[in-house]
Structure 1
């Protein structure tokens, strides 16, 4: 047996048994991923009451007015932030509660109270932690994703035709729907696995970035970055503000929309200052899964050097890192890429099932007794 043949057998053996070992978890990750791809679209359809009649942006009410309305409706709760979703959406107001309050941005009328733990919260917890908690579930998801990354590579090696003749090309690129179920199942595993390979690799790599800090640092280095990727800065003691937190929130809200936002300027998150001597957080330029973090110095309300840059101003490694979530969920290209990601996630969910059936069929074939010819 030559080295090439031996390596091929080792690859096939690892592909089989690692696939069986991780199959259930990969199926769960992929199915929940299918659902989460369209989370915002489904929520928008199911919660039409959160939509409002869009008006001129000059009629949008500042955070201080919305604060007063929410404080009167829900007394005794500490309010943290205001998320303006645009001219046709209500504002999400977060506070010390198990619910988020949604407010009409033009009238300050309370539109709805919605709990944090809806069905998507459960699906997301299953996708990220198998509902086992962060300490237990996240490492299991992370290593199952790492195994799936290897399976995609080893599967590509197994898929690669030994000869590029017409017969092998048809087997590698086409599903023979007229064949028996066993052959169709094999084609679904082999052919669909190939067609979804690039997107599956992209989803897997971005998932590993979120699972392991060592993988995130490695990818940052591979893409040309130096040092560690930037993270949200720790709380920093600054010269204190002389204004009330609501006054600063209003000023920052106006400033972000008029001077800083590059696009979607009416989609802004503004946090209330927790302490008068700490940086004040806001967020803008939220588009296709990307967002720009802003930090304001409390005394001057000038942008801190810790604030994130516009996407086009970032170096390539930082752009890749910043777009990791968008690349993971397919939000970077709008509805078209989300549909592609949905289909690819569905195929990824099917791979453990079709792969198991291929193995089970071979196992049954080996166990079937040989026919013994009677001797007369």
Structure 2
């Protein structure tokens, strides 16, 4: 009876383990094939976006600094008026002023057809030194990354589903990578790439080994991306860290009533006050009111302000009549900071060049994984077909 019972128990365990292994392999293969092209596009556009601010400023290098620092800068009102005279077809949306007196003003604008541009303006003369369309290019890249281009809200959903699948792929990939036995041979195979090998073996190693080293940072970027696009996850993050969802919308609702009898406060004192808050503040971003009836201005102070990321930044809403900051509820302010940190962590804006470089390598490996995975599947499928023909 003992022998018979042993014979019935051991095969059952082996069979059960085999089923889990097959299921994991099946999930990794078919989920990867079904989402591979989307993951590739999302990862590639993410990589292209990492250095967007450096590229935008790099293309306008000669216009980042003025040739002559004069005793008096023009007021922001005069700068905006000069810009409108030189670019009457364009509508200013915001501008960034630098503490460094040698830096030009960076102004964002658009046309009715969108055509986003940055212009660099001499703060002492009001002359537009240069305008570049790299802003519009990265706008398109960001919207392809989110799926909004070309499919709108449907594209957003497709990308979100693909990112969830990629999260599962990372977990199932780790299970597939994990050696059944740990010895010197399996350690070498699991942790090193055999460069002097056939293309098939090299591709297999390029899928497995970098995939393992990339696991934790890839999970990090994937989860922060999901927090940005998935409402339940975003709400959970805000609840945990004491924020409120849709903080930006609530923030924009904080405004005084329009009063046609009142005049707007001058902008220079507002900007000087923002700079005086902290000596580490190097840049101030100020919105341009789209209509005269808009009673608030939105300001950001930071060490570095990018298209999406803000380094050590803080957000303010300014009463246009008094020039004073308006009180923002604590939960709304926390919500804004949570959103900023999530975005900074996602795009590598959290540690200057170090953060961006690390995110670049992670993104490149994530871009390569669907390609190397497809080549592995295609090679095995072709091999089976050839064997059947023989």
TM-score category (smaller protein): 0.7 to 0.9
After superposition, give the CA deviation of every residue in 1:226-263 in whole Å (9 maximum; x if it has no partner). 76463342434525577644x443332122112x3462
- Matches of 2:314 and 2:382, distance apart in 1: 56
For 2:173, the equivalent position in structure 1 comes to 155
Identify the range of structure 1 (83-92 vs 341-350) with the bigger mean alpha-carbon deviation.
Answer: 83-92
How many Å apart are 1:149 and its aligned residue? Answer: 1.2
C-alpha change, 1:257 and 1:200, in structure 2 (3 Å) is same
Trace 1:64-143 onto structure 2 (pairs within 5 A): 64-75=77-88, 79-85=92-98, 87=100, 88-95=102-109, 97=111, 98=115, 99-115=117-133, 118-129=136-147, 131-143=149-161
Q: Say whether the 8 Å CA contact 1:294–1:308 is kept in structure 2.
A: no
How many Å apart are 1:355 and its aligned residue? Answer: 0.7
Q: Say whether the 8 Å CA contact 2:91–2:109 is kept in structure 1.
A: yes
- Matches of 1:356 and 1:210, distance apart in 2: 29
Q: Check if 1:279 corresponds to 2:296.
A: yes
Identify the range of structure 1 (130-139 vs 336-345) with the bigger mean alpha-carbon deviation.
Answer: 130-139
For 2:57, the equivalent position in structure 1 comes to 44
TM-score by length of 2: 0.82
Q: Give 5+ residue unaligned stretches, structure 1.
A: none
How many Å apart are 1:216 and its aligned residue? Answer: 1.1
Give the counterpart of 1:6 among 19, 24, 33: 19
After superposition, give the CA deviation of every residue in 1:110-130 in whole Å (9 maximum; x if it has no partner). 112334764333322322226
SS in 2 for 1:131: helix
- Matches of 2:78 and 2:62, distance apart in 1: 21
- Matches of 2:336 and 2:289, distance apart in 1: 28
C-alpha change, 1:59 and 1:203, in structure 2 (3 Å) is farther
Give the counterpart of 1:358 among 370, 376, 383: 376
C-alpha change, 1:227 and 1:211, in structure 2 (3 Å) is closer
After superposition, give the CA deviation of every residue in 1:301-327 in whole Å (9 maximum; x if it has no partner). 332222789xxxx87x87554311111
After superposition, give the CA deviation of every residue in 1:58-81 in whole Å (9 maximum; x if it has no partner). 754331221232233234765443
Q: Say whether the 8 Å CA contact 1:91–1:103 is kept in structure 2.
A: yes
After superposition, give the CA deviation of every residue in 1:174-215 in whole Å (9 maximum; x if it has no partner). 111122221111111110001111221122112112222222
How many Å apart are 1:270 and its aligned residue? Answer: 4.2
C-alpha change, 1:144 and 1:54, in structure 2 (3 Å) is farther
For 2:256, the equivalent position in structure 1 comes to 238
How many Å apart are 1:350 and its aligned residue? Answer: 0.9
SS in 2 for 1:231: helix
Q: Say whether the 8 Å CA contact 2:281–2:302 is kept in structure 1.
A: yes
TM-score by length of 1: 0.84
Give the counterpart of 1:191 among 182, 187, 209: 209
Q: Say whether the 8 Å CA contact 1:239–1:298 is kept in structure 2.
A: no
Q: Check if 1:172 corresponds to 2:195.
A: no
C-alpha change, 1:294 and 1:224, in structure 2 (3 Å) is closer
Q: Say whether the 8 Å CA contact 1:62–1:250 is kept in structure 2.
A: yes
